[in-house]
Amino acid sequence: MSETLDTIKQQISENSILLYMKGSPQMPQCGFSAQAVQALMGCGERFAFVNILDNPDIRTELPKYANWPTFPQLWLNGELVGGCDIIVEMYQNGELAPMVKQAAGDAAPQEGDNA
């Protein structure tokens, strides 16, 4: 378990824009992940992702670590932004893009890179 937590912490610290999701940006496996990906792509910056369906330990441990029970989860510069509803709402009201662009200025992982 501590190894999984170490992995989560490393993923979050090494990726300034990180989406924990079901599936991949090219093939989301749930509607909420698809909406989150669309909002992130609409911000025009590259982002990393972790497919929690391929990582059951992360799927189990991340909600405890983040104190956030659902997926997707968007992390910017090591801080949890929130899930689908928050991501989409922030995108629609213009708050998400500046935050994503600021995070991208710190470091830009390749879009679709597995974290």
Is 43 annotated in a binding site? The answer is no
- Whether residue 59 is annotated as binding a ligand: the answer is yes
34, 21 in Cβ contact below 8 A? no
Q: Which two tokens stand for residue 87?
A: 């991501």
Distance of CA 58 to the CA centre of its chain: 13
Alpha carbons within 13 angstroms on the beta-carbon side of residue 103 total 30
Taking alpha carbons only, the member of 73, 49, 76 closest to residue 63 is 73
Q: Which amino acids are annotated as binding site for [2Fe-2S] cluster, given as ranges? A: 30
Q: Which amino acids are annotated as binding site for glutathione, given as ranges? A: 22, 59, 71, 84-85
Q: Which amino acids are annotated as binding site, given as ranges? A: 22, 30, 59, 71, 84-85
